[in-house]
Structure 1
């Protein structure tokens, strides 16, 4: 798909707020999520944007906040685990939640061992099955996620994405996280501009549009959006030109 970026100069930095997904938006995908890296130049431009907007820049991710903060300046606020981890708060360790899904982990570990190239990622609030290095095993991984969902019950959901199926408790998403940011300074009263590339970004993109702002889809997935950029490199170039 051809890039259709918003005109940077038309975005009044005193009136807009900027929200970014991480994987596939700010950083290129890697076969192993642990190998992801943020281009140093893009990191500097995010800080320039943060200063120019008076702090109205945030990252919304399905990863833990700590993972993202290892790549960026901690001055940039990050909402992790689809908004379950919010800046200034500590995600409470929930033994009951852990007890729900931990019995499934040995079987899932054996499953990914039987399908080379797949990966089980454990999180405090759930787990994810990855198959980026082995796309031929997609159906097996999705079937395993659906079986796990059946065992976990109605309080859990599958969050589908690019080569990943994540099991997490229902309730929050990136859209509600964006709205929470927008209710607080320095975001309140501004128009949100959201950038995302995957299905779990759709609530964030929708919330930005519902609040009078803009949605920018990243990559090839056909997400409802006002504009489109081909990927992290195109975003980095757009920011660099706009902030020059």
Structure 2
């Protein structure tokens, strides 16, 4: 991965942020994450200084993101872009496959292994093995086998999770936002931590967009910059807000 220096410019850039592993630390169960005390205030400030060109782009459903970030109602993409709330507050839901039969195929595996968790989303299904890491191969093989009988899904391996998701990715979500105000005409900056974020990095850095992907944590990535962990992400964002508030040149990422 190439390292390069880049200033974050509130007037010129559109900021896209993953949630789990980027803004909050990962937890043993998806519902157990802890929102940092100043995160909501920080996102409010970022939204203000960017004139609204800030969006959360996550694998979680919008409903969960709204719960953790209440009372904020930011532009968001959930389930990797299958559902999206625009800056104007309009909800756009793309057609997705039915997960009912896929769930039925995976239930025996989960029932036989109490350490596994099956998370049902709109058009997607995530099989978490964080509490049973020794079952990684078993989960991957089980999901692969189940998907041989179910059309419309893409298999995606993430951090302690294997997911069946619709043929939609975070790059598609970024592209949709960038066609709309206030994101249109701005350079995309996308910060994320997992393999699910690679499509977002690719879109941000593609063609004449001159954008930037920032990878959080270890692992191979096409992102041009890297931060160590969510704490480093929050500090970068705090520094950018502080610089904007004092009308200084934005801090280098």
**Compared with structure 1, are the counterparts of its residues 166 and 190 closer, same or farther at alpha carbon in structure 2 (3 Å cutoff)?**
same
Q: How many residues matched?
A: 234
Partner of residue 68, structure 2: 71
Change (3 A) 1:6 1:112: farther
SS of residue in 1 equivalent to 2:19: coil
Structure 1, unpaired ranges of 5+: none
| Aligned residue among 127, 133, 143 for 2:131 | 133
Kindly report the root-mean-square deviation, in angstroms, between the aligned alpha carbons of the 2 structures.
2.0
Residues 218 and 5 (structure 1 numbering): CA distance in 2 closer, same or farther, change over 3 Å?
Answer: farther
Gaps of 5+ in 2: 243-253
Verify: 1:158 aligned to 2:160, yes or no: no
Using structure 2 for the length normalisation, give the TM-score: 0.86
User: 1:183: which partner in 2?
Assistant: 179
Equivalence for 2:248: none
| Per-residue Cα deviation, 1:127-166 (whole angstroms, up to 9, x for no partner) | 111101111000000001101110103x321122111111
Distance in 1, Cα, partners of 2:178 & 2:155: 27
- Structure 2 residue aligned with 1:91: 93
Cα distance between partner residues in 1 of 2:150 and 2:41: 42
Match of 2:191 among 184, 195, 203: 195
Shift in Å, 1:109: 2.2
Which of the two has greater helix per residue? 1
Q: Does 1:123 align with 2:117?
A: no
| Structure 1 CA distance for aligned equivalents of residues 103 and 148 of structure 2 | 15
Q: TM-score under structure 1 normalisation?
A: 0.89
User: Quick one: distance in 1 between partners of 2:126 and 2:41?
Assistant: 31
Match for 2:59 among 59, 62, 70? 62
